[in-house]
Amino acid sequence: MLRPKEFIEGAINKIKDEIGDEKAIIALSGGVDSSVCSVLAQEAIGDNLTAIFVNHGLLREGEAEQVCGVFEERLNFKYIDASDEFLSELEGVKDPEEKRKIIGRVFIEVFEREAQKVEAKYLVQGTIAPDWIETEGKIKSHHNIALPSGMVLNLVEPIRDLYKDEVREVGSELGLPEKLIQRQPFPGPGLGVRVIEALTRENLAICRAADAIVREEVEKAALNKQLWQYFAVLTDTKVTGVKGDKRDFGYLVVIRLISSVDAMTATVPEMPWDVIRTISKRITSEVSEVTHVALSISDKPPSTIEFA
Ligand code: XMP
């Protein structure tokens, strides 16, 4: 069984030994893994760590503010609003794999620019056990990463032997806010994989507003602890509706409430119907562009958790 206090002490000493007096960077997403790693590395090497939080314009409502609020004071923290850059590269792109590739490439470009500014030699990463166990044998425990510019960063992975529940225990011991520790997983490409059309500021705002209602209602009903993820997807389907006494033609939003232990498989659990109805009613009345809400009832497999 993990002893969080001892783990933290050991991890800090190990990071100190590995990085010494050199500079390091970490891509902080605000998820529990990168948050825990950022705090451990900051405790170990102080301001020689720069934690870079990139806003790609695909974040959820309130997310940038929340991450900045938690870390601005606690870390040597750099917030980069790169949303214009991401959205202009993504303009007109509908294919999900193409979107993912562009988001990944632009992320590396932005991150690399920042890494060069601080002359980092090390990259701290929040890899956890399930991330590498499946590919065991192919990954060495000490390895380097070459950025496209030719800059080579040594990888430091302080929590690579932990599982998610253990990372959460360490996060609690480090005094991170409960809301952040219990945060549901959120994919790197963000709302980019939950808006099926080519991305625009407008359709992202619709998805973001619907998603905020799903989160609010699920958390209000305290169902979040039973769920792996809970979110809204903005489809590219338009549906006839009636609002007031006028015909409307708006978007179909799908809500996805899913249970899982490791995201390899997932099931749709039974949920209180009143919560689902409230979510649906709120989305169609508060998000004017939406006329219809559907509930996804597909497990993984055969579906995946995300829609794209
Ligand atoms: P799927 O959709 O493959 O998702 O069933 C499994 C889990 O992985 C998350 N996910 C991602 N996480 N980058 C990430 O960091 C990604 O590109 C990505 N795609 C999916 C998803 O949210 C779910 O928890």
- What is the pLDDT at residue 303? 97
Token pair 């690399």: residue: 112
* Mean pLDDT, residues 108-134 taken together: 88
272 Cα distance to chain centroid: 26
Indicate the burial class of 53 (C-beta count within 10 angstroms; 0-12, 13-18, 19 or more): buried
Band the pLDDT of 134: cuts 50, 70, 90.
Answer: low
Question: Is pLDDT above 80 for 248?
Answer: yes
Distance 44 CA to ligand 1 centre (A): 30
pLDDT tens, residue by residue, 26-63: 999 999 999 999 999 999 999 999 999 999 999 999 99
Distance CA 94, CA 121 (A): 37
Domains of the chain: 4-181 (3.40.50.620), 194-295 (3.30.300.10)
- What is the pLDDT at residue 263? 87
Question: Is pLDDT above 50 for 236?
Answer: yes
Q: Is 127 close to ligand 1, i.e. is its CB under 6 Å away?
A: no
pLDDT tens, residue by residue, 145-181: 777 777 788 999 999 999 988 999 999 999 999 999 9
* The model's pTM: 0.92
Q: Is 164 close to ligand 1, i.e. is its CB under 6 Å away?
A: no
Q: Is 185 close to ligand 1, i.e. is its CB under 6 Å away?
A: yes
User: How many C-beta atoms lie closer than 10 Å to residue 87's C-beta?
Assistant: 18
Lowest model confidence (mean pLDDT) among 17-21, 129-133, 191-195, 263-267 = 129-133
* Mean pLDDT, residues 133-143 taken together: 55
Question: Is pLDDT above 70 for 143?
Answer: no
230, 215 contact by CB (below 8 A): yes
Give strand pairing partners of 27: 52
Q: What are phi and psi of 154, to 5 degrees?
A: -85, 135
Query: Mean pLDDT, the chain, as a whole number?
Result: 94
249, 256 contact by CB (below 8 A): no
Question: Is pLDDT above 80 for 295?
Answer: yes
- What is the pLDDT at residue 60? 98
| Residue partners of 109: CB distance under 8 A and separation at least 6 | 148
Cα 123–141–75 angle (5° rounding)? 30
Token pair 């599982």: residue: 163
Band the pLDDT of 135: cuts 50, 70, 90.
Answer: low
254, 306 contact by CB (below 8 A): no
DSSP 287: S
Q: Is 131 close to ligand 1, i.e. is its CB under 6 Å away?
A: no
Nearest protein Cα to ligand 1, atom 6: 263
Q: What is the position in ligand 1's atom list of the atom closest to the CA of 100?
A: 17
pLDDT tens, residue by residue, 60-73: 999 999 999 999 99
Distance CA 85, CA 243 (A): 37
Question: Is pLDDT above 80 for 294?
Answer: yes
Token pair 């905020």: residue: 212
Which residue type occupies 54?
A: V
- What is the pLDDT at residue 136? 61
Band the pLDDT of 237: cuts 50, 70, 90.
Answer: very high
Structural element, H or E, at residue 278: helix 273-286
